């Protein structure tokens, strides 16, 4: 799929992302989980070698194959669906980082699985998610993830696998002699935009598009925008976790979404007082409804994000959220995520970000985080204090610098 030079560059970029995401260098003997789907084994081997060379301790773990995953959700009873494997809590408490290599061999193998089975298993893993979230806030844990091309991805995206691999390499700048240097420059440019967005403060944002999106939300108090954090490779978005209680109106996502072996497309959401009150989808509606009922926070917004087309070289549907949520193309893109908010958009000190603070400021909590992407033309207007309004995003570009 990739030659040795490209593998090495991909590994370099991921290790850069891992350190950037945590905010400070890793130490010798730190534990780093390398979680990979089987087709991504060559990249997993390269990363494990790099971690050994750096003095860290790689913990390689292969993810379930499509059959293993299908059998788990269909053959296990409720007890087995909700039982955590011995050692998982201890591992999560000891990990200093995770690199996830996504290489799906199927995107629809769970379509026949009852949505409640998937939701039940997801809820059972909430304690592990909470451990990771707490340790990330403490600065002792970081993560990043990437995509490995597979025939399944390429097929759904309407390409052959070789063409798909070229798109992945282009988006991650793997054709450059020093892709890490390019990513550092992108991060610096994103920082200037982030600073300008932060200067707006707690404003009301109004999103309008001709496809039916008419959405209002408040950025929220004690917020900061984030972007190019290293947690996703590639990533070109600038995002914030808004005050979920303020979300009102309608949102339409035009890109299909592949989640938990299910496909959802043509999704339309209506929000009232921060909660989804109506949901429709051209495909996968029952699954989507099941996902939004996983817990109380699953029907609330945890993220609002915009992508400037001048940053992102991704211009076509890639059948994977990691790439699709960073779509540039002709119109740029935006997405909202239902579910979990991001702690790194809290502007205060990490130790102050407790449950009481989350609730007071309207940061959402959920075991779900589901990105829904829109690539149609749109305008985002900020309603400033004092009654003034300014367009901050239009024609696929930020208008704040």
Q: Which of 219, 198, 230, 207 is nearest to 374 (CA)?
A: 207
* pLDDT, mean of residues 355-359: 95
pLDDT in tens, 296-337: 999 999 999 999 999 999 999 999 999 999 999 999 999 999
- Supply the pLDDT for residue 23: 81
pLDDT in tens, 117-152: 998 998 999 899 999 988 988 889 999 999 999 999
Q: Please, which pLDDT band fits residue 7 given cuts at 50, 70 and 90?
A: very high
- Supply the pLDDT for residue 183: 97
Q: Please, which pLDDT band fits residue 387 given cuts at 50, 70 and 90?
A: confident
The radius of gyration computed from the CA coordinates of the chain, to the nearest angstrom, equals 20
**139 phi/psi in degrees, rounded to 5:** 85, 15
Q: What average pLDDT does the chain have?
A: 95
pTM: 0.90
Residue 358 has pLDDT above 90, yes or no: yes
Domains in the chain with CATH codes: 4-180 (3.40.1830.10), 192-398 (no CATH)
Q: Please, which pLDDT band fits residue 36 given cuts at 50, 70 and 90?
A: very high
Tell me how many degrees the CA angle 288-292-297 measures, rounded to the nearest 5. Answer: 160
pLDDT in tens, 254-286: 999 988 878 899 999 999 999 999 999 999 999
């Amino acid at each position: 799929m990739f030659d040795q030079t490209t593998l090495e560059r991909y590994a370099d970029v991921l290790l850069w992302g891992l350190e950037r995401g945590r905010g400070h260098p890793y130490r010798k003997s730190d534990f780093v989980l390398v979680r990979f789907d089987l087709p991504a084994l060559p990249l997993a081997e390269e990363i494990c070698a790099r971690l050994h060379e750096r003095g860290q301790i790689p913990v390689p773990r292969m993810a379930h194959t499509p059959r293993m995953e299908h059998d788990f959700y269909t053959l296990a009873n409720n007890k087995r669906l909700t039982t955590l494997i011995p050692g998982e809590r201890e591992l999560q408490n000891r990990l200093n980082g995770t690199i996830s290599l996504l290489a799906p061999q199927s995107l629809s193998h769970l379509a026949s699985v009852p949505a409640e089975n998937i939701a039940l298993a997801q809820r059972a893993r909430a304690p592990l998610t909470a451990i990771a979230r707490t340790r990330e806030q403490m600065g002792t844990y970081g993560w990043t993830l990437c995509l490995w091309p597979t025939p399944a991805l390429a097929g759904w995206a309407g390409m052959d696998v070789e063409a798909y691999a070229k798109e992945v390499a282009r988006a991650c700048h793997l054709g450059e002699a020093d892709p890490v240097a390019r990513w550092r420059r992108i991060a610096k440019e994103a920082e200037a935009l982030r600073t300008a967005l932060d200067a707006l403060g707690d404003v009301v944002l109004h999103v309008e598009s001709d496809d039916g999106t008419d959405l209002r939300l408040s950025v929220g108090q004690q917020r900061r925008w984030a972007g190019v954090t290293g947690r996703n490779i590639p990533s070109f978005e600038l995002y914030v976790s808004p005050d979920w209680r303020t979300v009102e109106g309608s949102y339409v996502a035009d890109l299909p979404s592949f989640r938990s072996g299910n496909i959802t497309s043509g999704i339309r959401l209506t929000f009232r007082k921060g909660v989804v009150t109506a949901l429709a989808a051209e495909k996968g509606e029952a699954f989507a409804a099941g996902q939004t009922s996983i817990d109380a926070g699953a029907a609330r917004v945890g993220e609002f994000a915009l992508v400037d087309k001048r940053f992102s070289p991704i211009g076509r549907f890639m059948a994977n959220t990691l790439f699709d949520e960073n779509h540039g193309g002709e119109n740029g893109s935006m997405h909202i995520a239902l579910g979990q908010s991001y702690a790194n958009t809290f502007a205060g000190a990490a130790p102050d970000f407790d449950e009481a603070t989350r609730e007071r400021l309207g940061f959402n909590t959920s075991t779900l985080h589901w990105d829904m992407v829109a690539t149609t033309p749109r305008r985002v207007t900020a309603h400033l204090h004092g009654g003034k309004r300014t367009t901050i995003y239009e024609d696929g570009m930020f208008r704040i610098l």
